[in-house]
Structures are given as C-alpha cells and as structure tokens.
Amino acid sequence: MMRFAHLFAAAALLALPACSKPAATGEAASTEMAKSDKSLGDVIGGDGQFKTLAAALKSTGLDGVFTGKGDYTVLAPTDAAFTALGDKAAELTAPDQNAALAAVLRSHVVPGMLTTADIGKAIDANGGKPISMRTMGTGSVKFARSGADLTVTADDGATAKLSSAGMSASNGAVLPIDAVLKKF
Amino acid sequence: MRKLLSSIAIAALATTALHADPGGGKGQGGGKDHGNGGAENRGGNGNGGDKQDRAQGGGKSDHGPVAVREDHGKANGKGDRADGFKNDNGQRQVKHDWTEGRSERDNHDRLVRDNRDMGNSRGIWSEYDQRGLVNGCPPGLAKKHNGCMPPGQAKKSNFDRYDRNWWGLRGLNNTSGYRYVDGNLVRLSSNGSVLSYYPLLGGALSVGNPWPSGWQSTPLAPYYANYYGLDNDSRYYDGAIYNVAPGTSIIQKIAALLTGDTFNVGQRMPSGYDAYNVPYQYRNQYADGPNANYRYSDGYVYQTDPKTQLILAAIKLLT
C-alpha cells in the first residue's frame, strides 16, 4: 500500500476544473465537448481526480502515448476507483509490476474521440441495447444505459459507471469512470 | 487543425476485396524473418506451423522494398494465392507491401494506392503479432542470474495466473501457463530455468531499456511514422509503437497504442466500432449521415455503409 500511497501523493498537479456533470444519458447525449488545446496527458495530469492514473501513466511510460499525436479516448478510473481495489492497488502499482499496470491501462483506452453524446446516440441507434467499442487490449468494452447513467463493462465483466460527461483534449477525450475495468 | 492530406479508396467496391483474413488461417502475406529468435510452435522463426492456423503463403521474405502488384481479373473464384491474398469470387486483388509510392499502376491508380496502404498496415500488424516467445533468456535476467534461473519469490507476481487476454497480448499462442519474470512473460523448464520469454509493454519494453536483442529491427510503414510524428527508429510490437534511439536501441518513448484490427475495403467493419469516434479536428469533414458513417482506428478514418456496414473507403489523416 505504501507504493500506492506514494504514487498517489507524487502524482501531478495543476488542477483543472473537471466536468462534474453526471453522465446522464438524456442530457449527455445532447452535450458536445468543447474543443481543448491540451493533450490527453495534460488533461489527465491536470485533473485532481486522476492523480493515481496520471502516476500510473508515467510509471509505465504510457504518458508518451497521450502527449503524442494519436487520438484516443481514455476511460479514466478516478482515484476513488483505484482506492476501491484495496490491496490489489498496492500490488498493481508496485515498481516491479509496471507491465501488469500497463496491461490494465491499455484495456481502458479506446481508439479515437468518443463522447458520452456519441455513446448515447449509438445506443439509441441500436434500439437501446448496449454498444461495443474496441480497446487497445485484445478485447472490447460495452456501453449501456442503467437508469439515467451510462455504464461500461469489460469482457471479463468488470463494470463501471461513467461519472461525468468527460473532458475533451487535443487528441481525444477523457471519460471518468468510478471503477477499474479489470477483474483480479 | 491538422492539414488533411486525404486519399480515399473509391467507394462501391463490390468488385474489389482485399482479404487479409486476420487470424482466420488464410491470407497473410507470407512473411518470414521477422526477427524473433524463436517461436512458440511456429517452426522456429515465427511463420508456418502456427497452431492458430495462420497459414503463411509462400511470398516475400521480409518487409524490405518490394514493388506493389495489382492483379486485375486474375482471380479464379476460390482458393488462396501463393502470395497469401485470398481470391474471392473473381474479385480483383491487390498485393501489398511496405513501400509507399511503388506500384505497377493502371487507370485505377487512386484506388490501388489506398487499398495498398490499408493492406500494408493491417496485414503487417497481424503478421507481427504471430511472432510468439523468444527462445532463450531475457537479456536483463541473463546478466543478473546464472543459468537463466528466475529470481526468488520477491520478483514473482500474483499476476502470473492471468492469461494473455488479461495482459492484452496478441502474440502469445497459448492462453495461459506463463510466468511473470522481470518484465517478461516466460516459459520455464522442469528445473525452473527460463526457456523462452515474451517482453512486455511497461516491463522489459520500458522507456530507458534496450530493445531485446532477440528481436531484430522491424520498420514502421512510412504513413504511420508520419501520422504519429516519429522521426527516429520506430518499431511495432504487440499493439504498440516504440521509438528507439538510433544506434543504441534504447527505447526512448512508447509512442502509440494500436488496435491492430484489420480493415479491408469491401468487407464489413470489424466489431467494436458501434459509436462515432472520429477525432475532433475531422468531425466537421467526416460526420455520420444517411449515406455514410465514419469510424476511426489506428490513424485512419473508415467510411462505411450505414446499412451493410461494409467499408467503402479508407481515409489517410496526415499532419
């Protein structure tokens, strides 16, 4: 747990106001993100709810991906989501387990820019049924409605709620989620 | 705003199908010498003999410059060609290779160019991902331990028990049975020594580490180097692009993550692209409509038919 606490404490950084608006499907579906000049790495690193994620990206070297030119959507577990892992968080963020951490992180990345509005429209177009999006792991995630919320479920059944409408970046989008999308 | 240098494979390509047939046992372009010193059930060099039934054609041997060839109307309606690209009911085929700008062109120049680029990327990714384990001892472990014996309990990982899909890996043949040692997944002998290894993103393949000596350099297609803004030596490995320092082979940057999915004009869009995901700067230009949808993956925007989900065109996005 010490390493986890260390990562948490050592993480960045400049606080950007995160969009705290819930990702309610009706409203989110009509809300487009504003254009941002900040990279995904800067948006994640500058948001106070992603300190653990930002530290994890740095320790695995994946921060270079999100400050580069490729476009991605990061399903971003909040600090509370990592905390909810309990002892697994400490294990996952241990210095000699960066490969496992990278494996977890890549399954939280979707190609291109995906907004909650896009997700809502796709679910509508699919008759209200869940829709699937590819990840940078070997599988996909499914987005669905759960009451007024949007949820995302990994292939292994790990599920999270989209906790806000997210933030745009110059090279994609960040969609905060309230759980880590990986079963341990 | 990125400047768009687009080239669009012409739509309505019912007569043009390029079959890379990922993982389906047919159609990859017969590569060999892709640089791994060993292979997991792959006859020692990563091609042939693959239990995943990715049969290789007998074509080209590496990713060096080879002229692109287009074969009009030569399809026999069934079966696979020696170059690995499957015929499909008399449809025209295009043979792909790395080298951009080289082709035996005809009056379908524009179409050929774009199809070739698509095939380049997709065929190559899946081909690379067949390389499997590297025989021998991971470089770091060899220096630290005699006889390539893995370190003690302190270096073991509770993540050992997870399979290749948990790790998000494409290139391992078997789903499980690996151990995690020093940033690699490994196979152990009966006496506990390492027989072979698979370097991992964020582990052995970390910024500041040398590129594993068991893996020869493999070039990145020029389009990807341009798209991701990579100037130096860049290498693809299992869903990621690494930037490596010239001369030293030290990993400087993990530059990109890729799905590695295969997209072919005339075929259905792969699963997992249900929602509109075009990057911000291209949304005005490529917006979904009644006649076309657009989806992004790995540096391309794909135009699809909303009704059939067939891919109508691949659009290059260059800065």
Tell me: the pLDDT tens digits for B284-316?
Answer: 999 999 999 999 999 999 999 999 999 999 999
CB pair distance less than 8 Å for A99 and B201 = yes
Chain A residue with CA closest to B224: the answer is: A70
**How far apart (Å, rounded) are the C-alpha atoms in residues B303 and B12?**
11
| AA letter at A127 | G
Give the pLDDT confidence score for residue B157 in this predicted structure.
Answer: 67
Kindly state the average pLDDT of the residues B2-8.
44
pLDDT score of B52 more than 50: no
A177 within 8 A of A154, measured Cβ to Cβ: no
Q: Where are the domains of chain A?
A: 2-177
Residue B260 banded pLDDT, cuts 50, 70, 90: confident
- For residues B5 and A179, which has the higher predicted lDDT (pLDDT)? A179
CA distance B270 to chain A (A): 9
**A2-177: CATH superfamily:** FAS1 domain (2.30.180.10)
Window from A55-64, B114-123, B159-168, B245-254 with minimum mean pLDDT: B114-123
Q: Which of A38, A106, A126, A129 to mutate to test the interface with B (most CBs of B within 10 A)?
A: A106
Closest CA to B15 of B263, B266, B262: B266
In the numeric block, the tokens 């993540």 are attached to B159
Paired tokens of A177: 């989620």
Chain A residue with CA closest to B300: the answer is: A112
Predicted ipTM of the assembly: 0.87
pLDDT by residue for chain A (184 residues), tens only, comes to: 445 545 544 443 333 333 445 554 433 333 467 778 999 999 999 999 999 999 999 999 999 999 999 999 999 999 999 999 999 999 999 988 999 999 999 999 999 999 999 999 999 999 999 999 999 999 999 999 999 999 999 999 999 999 999 999 999 999 999 999 999 8
Window from A33-37, A55-59, B163-167, B227-231 with minimum mean pLDDT: A33-37
Q: Which of B52, B166, B238 to mutate to test the interface with A (most CBs of A within 10 A)?
A: B166
Q: What is the DSSP annotation of B187-248?
A: EE-TTS-EEEEEE-BTTTB-TTSBPPTTB---PPPHHHHHHTT--SEEEEETTEEEEE-TTT
The gap from C-alpha B223 to its chain's centroid, in whole angstroms, comes to 14
CB pair distance less than 8 Å for A111 and B270 = no
Tell me which chain B residues have a C-beta less than 8 angstroms from the C-beta of A73.
277
**How far apart (Å, rounded) are the C-alpha atoms in residues A72 and B228?**
12
**How far apart (Å, rounded) are the C-alpha atoms in residues B160 and B173?**
16
Q: Where are the domains of chain B?
A: 132-200
Residue B182 banded pLDDT, cuts 50, 70, 90: confident
pLDDT score of B24 more than 80: no
